[in-house]
Structure 1
């Protein structure tokens, strides 16, 4: 199966590979030369580790050789399967509790999904009034063109003034109706919350059974811009995406311990108390859902 990589975290890939293949890093640091007969004859972890080492060394000379990283991932994924270290999630047969208690080091999730981008949501709020005006004005483009032509002929004619007045009234009413759906004070409030408690992480969410998997994407590891991905696959994808990573947060979320700070408490004691209050606020605005599992990804791809 050919993989079309959307996302690949190369540092994590090589970090885990160095541990899985027992010493890839040593081969790279020593710049050891590996004889072809060794590669051909040896099997298992050592041979795979040496192949990875060669890939890393060659890839380091050119960042454009992404196909080398892709090959490294294939070797890594094959070893996870061979050593039974990866849990495949393709249907709802595994409950939230089953997933939380798994002994597997990695997970592979195969499902359609959707992208949640807080930065773009903030941009939508910030430009809401301009977007509302554009939505109101665009349907009246033909009449506005007629008005401009009439102005060019005689801008002081009664017909120009009448059409100008009609358009102004219609557009202002339509703009006001659109803006009423998101009052300015509400927009300011959303912007403040996102500024204070948001982040630049893009979340790719997949639902399988009653479990929601939220994969946290760092944009520097995307193979192309998010806008390109949205246009090609849609924000809610019609195509299945495969996520390979590990569980960073499932159950066991700690509760805030907000307590009254007694008199005479040291400055650091006050800071610790404030940290608990901050944690409580963070949980109020972006706590994990009851059946949500947070995934830190190594790779995301579609299959061709």
Structure 2
């Protein structure tokens, strides 16, 4: 099966590979370094271990080749399956509890999903009222074209001033009826909350049965811009995407332990108490769902 990689975290791939294959790190060179002229050595005896090491060595030159990273991932994924370290989640073959207690180090999810970009949403709110005004004005295009003609006839054209006033009133009416604007105090509050409790991560959310998987992806590991990916595949994808990664949060979520600090407590104790309050606030704005599993992805791809 040919993979079309949307996202690949190369550092995680090679970090896990070096441990899985034993000895890959001996071949690892800094991305901007020149290749060493040393004779290759291999601690492990696994053939694929040597192959991935060679791929790492080639890919670590000053001109990194993406196809070698992809090939390395194929070897890594195959080895996970061979050593039975991978939990393959498809359809509704696993419950939330079974996934949480599977004991598997890695998980692979195959499902349609949707992209959620917090920074993109924040940017939308910043321009929300401007966009609403533009949408309302676009509905009155013929009237604005007529207004421009009247303005060209003379600076003090009475008809132009009357039409301008009518159009301004119509725009306000359209915006009000269509909820195309929000009060500034609301928009400022949303911006503050997102700035404080948001992040630079892009989330890819998938549902398999009753379980929701949220993969938190770093922008620098995307093969294309998130805007371009959403245009190609749709924000809610029509194709199935495969996510392979590790589970970083599923169950056993801790409760906030907020305790009153006394005057005798040192500054450090007060700071620890504030950290508990901050954790409590974070749970209010970004708590995990009851059957949600947070994934740290290594790769996200479609199959061709």
Q: What TM-score does the superposition give when structure 1 sets the normalisation length?
A: 0.92
Cα displacement (A) at 1:64: 4.4
Cα displacement (A) at 1:31: 6.3
**Cα distance in 2, alignment partners of residues 235 and 271 from structure 1:** 41
Cα displacement (A) at 1:91: 1.1
8 Å Cα contact 2:129-2:180 kept in structure 1? no
Change (3 A) 1:203 1:264: same
SS where residue 290 of structure 2 aligns? coil
The reply on whether 1:54 has 2:51 as its aligned counterpart is no
Tell me which protein shows more helix as a share of its residues: 1
**Cα distance in 1, alignment partners of residues 98 and 133 from structure 2:** 50
SS where residue 4 of structure 2 aligns? strand
**Cα distance in 2, alignment partners of residues 229 and 64 from structure 1:** 22
Name the counterpart of 2:14.
14
> Deviation string for 1:126-150 (max 9, x for gaps)?
1111111111111112221121122
Q: How does 1:274-289 map to 2 (within 5 A)?
A: 274-289=274-289
**Cα distance in 2, alignment partners of residues 239 and 297 from structure 1:** 18
Change (3 A) 1:2 1:146: same
Cα displacement (A) at 1:181: 5.5
Name the counterpart of 1:95.
95
Q: What TM-score does the superposition give when structure 2 sets the normalisation length?
A: 0.92
Name the counterpart of 1:74.
74
Q: How many residues align?
A: 297
Cα displacement (A) at 1:230: 0.6
Cα displacement (A) at 1:157: 3.8
Name the counterpart of 1:271.
271
SS where residue 203 of structure 1 aligns? strand
**Cα distance in 2, alignment partners of residues 23 and 64 from structure 1:** 21
The reply on whether 1:212 has 2:212 as its aligned counterpart is yes
Name the counterpart of 2:110.
110
Change (3 A) 1:236 1:150: same
Cα displacement (A) at 1:119: 0.6
Change (3 A) 1:14 1:252: same
SS where residue 139 of structure 2 aligns? helix
Structure 2 portions without partners, runs of 5+: 30-35
**Cα distance in 1, alignment partners of residues 108 and 236 from structure 2:** 19
Structure 1 portions without partners, runs of 5+: 39-43
